[in-house]
Amino acid sequence: MLRFLARRLALAVPTLILASMIIFALQQLLPGDVATALTGEERDPQVIAFIREKYHLDEPLPVRYGYWAGGVLRGDLGDSIRLQKPVSELIVEKLPVTLELACLAMLVALAIGVPMGVLSAVKRGQTADTVANGIALWGLSVPNFWLGILLILLFSVELGWLPASGYVSPFESLSENLAAMVMPAFVLGNAIAAVMMRHTRAAMLGVLGSDYVRTARAKGVSPLRVTLRHALPNAAIPIITLGALEFGQLLSGAVLTEQVFSVPGFGKLMVDAVFNRDFATVQGVVICTAATYIALNLAADLLSAAVNPKLRRA
């Protein structure tokens, strides 16, 4: 188990370093002088000189990366030019909102996707399977920002049941928080539900065709128990691992969902930063996303190892 953990970490660290290099290198794409671009609207030569100094823009690229990466390791992601605040502070402020949204969306995705996938695997080739596959295809194809708009149109504009936008902290009012989050979570979870359904179906089909499922049936175990007790736990490992990979899509989708519902999270921070030419914030958000994604995959690997008795005792 420890060796497994070490091996995974040994792979994750260089990946993160390389990803940070790519993110840092994005700066080089800025047209014209980097210092001028970084200052945004400001044209004061003194400010530009200050920026040039602060980001060591006269040094060669690798040295600049060194300064930046060193800062990132110390939790210093630079300052937001627009908001005059450290980027790390902004992220710490916005991250919980997005994490809540992401977790609720994952819950929605699992609650819809896994049962649907199990059902369609058990009823392979029958009507239920066709219907479930159709729903999954719909979920994969509908752009989630459009779905968000349609839901707002229905539940906020027409029916007036749910708020169209805004965010209330769960510590202020849990019910208002949930009322504000239910549509975003559903919209965001929808596409992932489709993917989870397909993963679950594939994993379950593999397991349902296995010899030990036949053994269980030969013991007189009922179909329901065969599915839930014998097949599903063994299908869980690929579902967990693949589900964690979907977290990237979840974060991508969160950017749009937050935009549609004006949820003040990570994605909204990034989009606002993009429009304010607040590049330190953009980089900060991207590196945090990548780190979160890598950490989650690591967690998924560990979780699947914990579920797998062969690895647990090794």
Partner 1 sequence: MSTGTPIAETTALAAPAGSPALLQEPGTLSAFWRRLRARPSAVAGLVIVGLLILMAVFAPWIAPYDPTATDWGNVRGAPSLAHPFGGDEVGRDVLARIIYGARASLGAGLVSVALAVSLGLPLGLLAGYAGGWIDGAISRLTDALLAIPFLILAIALAAFLGPSLVNAMIAIGLSATSTFIRLTRAQVRAVAAEEFVEAARALGNPPWRIAIRHILPNIVPAILVQATLTIAAAIIAEASLSFLGLGQQPPEPSWGAMLNTAKNFMDQAPWMAIWPGLSIFLAVLAFNLFGDGLRDALDPRQRT
Partner 2 sequence: MTKPLLDVRDLAVAFDTDGGAVHAVNGVSYTLREGETLGIVGESGSGKSVHVLAMLGLIPRPPGRITGGQVLFEGRDLLALKERELQKIRGGAIGFVFQDPMSSLNPGMTVAAQIVEPLRIHLGLDARGARARAKDLLDLVRIPNAAARLDQYPHEFSGGQRQRVMIAIGLSCRPKLLIADEATTALDVTVQAEIVALVQELKRELGMAIIWITHDLGVVAGISDTVQVMYAGRILERGPVDDIFADPRNAYTLGLLRSLPDLSGSRAGRRRLHQIEGAPPDMRHLPPGDPFAPRNAFATPRCRAEMPPLSQAHGAAPGHLVAAWYDLPKLLAAEAVR
Q: Which two tokens stand for residue 249?
A: 């899509």
Q: Which two tokens stand for residue 9?
A: 């970490």
- Cβ-based neighbours of 103, under 8 Å, separated by 6 or more: none
> In this complex, which beta carbon is closest to partner 1, that of residue 81 or of residue 256?
256
CB of 297 within 8 A of CB of 13? no
Residue 309 makes contact with partner 2 by CB under 8 A: yes
User: How far is 177 from 264, CA to CA, in rounded Å?
Assistant: 13
Q: How many CB atoms lie within 10 A of CB 295?
A: 14
Q: How many CB atoms lie within 10 A of CB 232?
A: 20
Answer with the entry of partner 1, partner 2, none that 204 interacts with (C-beta below 5 to 8 A by kind): none
User: How far is 254 from 13, CA to CA, in rounded Å?
Assistant: 26
- Shortest separation between residue 274's beta carbon and partner 1, angstroms: 4
Pattern 17-56, partner 1, x by CB under 8 A = -xx-xxx--xx-xxx-------------------------
CB of 267 within 8 A of CB of 257? yes
Tracing tokens 């359904």 back to the chain, one arrives at 197
The stretch among 46-54, 99-107, 139-147, 217-225 that binds partner 1 (CB under 8 A) is 139-147
Residue 310 makes contact with partner 2 by CB under 8 A: yes
The stretch among 22-30, 31-39, 221-229, 266-274 that binds partner 2 (CB under 8 A) is 221-229
Q: What is the 3-state secondary structure (H, E, C) of 87-142?
A: HHHHHHHHHHHHHHHHHHHHHHHHHHHHHHHHHHHHCCCCHHHHHHHHHHHHHHHC
- Shortest separation between residue 304's beta carbon and partner 2, angstroms: 12
Residue 125 makes contact with partner 2 by CB under 8 A: yes
Residue 143 makes contact with partner 1 by CB under 8 A: yes
Q: Where are the beta strands (DSSP E) in the chain?
A: 79-80, 85-86
Identity of the residue numbered 144: N
- Shortest separation between residue 240's beta carbon and partner 2, angstroms: 13
Residue 80, SS3 per DSSP? strand
Answer with the entry of partner 1, partner 2, none that 241 interacts with (C-beta below 5 to 8 A by kind): partner 1
Q: Which of 140, 168, 213, 299 binds partner 1 (CB under 8 A)?
A: 140
Q: Which of residues 190-229 bind partner 1 (CB under 8 A)?
A: 194-195, 198, 202
User: How far is 5 from 166, CA to CA, in rounded Å?
Assistant: 41
Greatest alpha-carbon pair distance for the chain in Å reads: 82
Pattern 228-267, partner 2, x by CB under 8 A = -xx--xx---------------------------------
Residue 79: beta bridge partners? 86
- Shortest separation between residue 176's beta carbon and partner 1, angstroms: 22
Residue 4 makes contact with partner 1 by CB under 8 A: no
CB of 87 within 8 A of CB of 77? yes
The residues of the shown chain that bind partner 1, judged by CB under 8 A, are 11-12, 14-16, 18-19, 21-23, 26-27, 29-31, 124-125, 137-138, 140-143, 145-146, 149-150, 152-153, 157, 194-195, 198, 202, 241-242, 245-246, 248-249, 251-253, 255-256, 259-260, 270-271, 273-275, 279, 282-283, 285-286, 289-290, 293-294, 297, 300-301
The residues of the shown chain that bind partner 2, judged by CB under 8 A, are 125, 209-212, 214-223, 229-230, 233-234, 307-310, 313
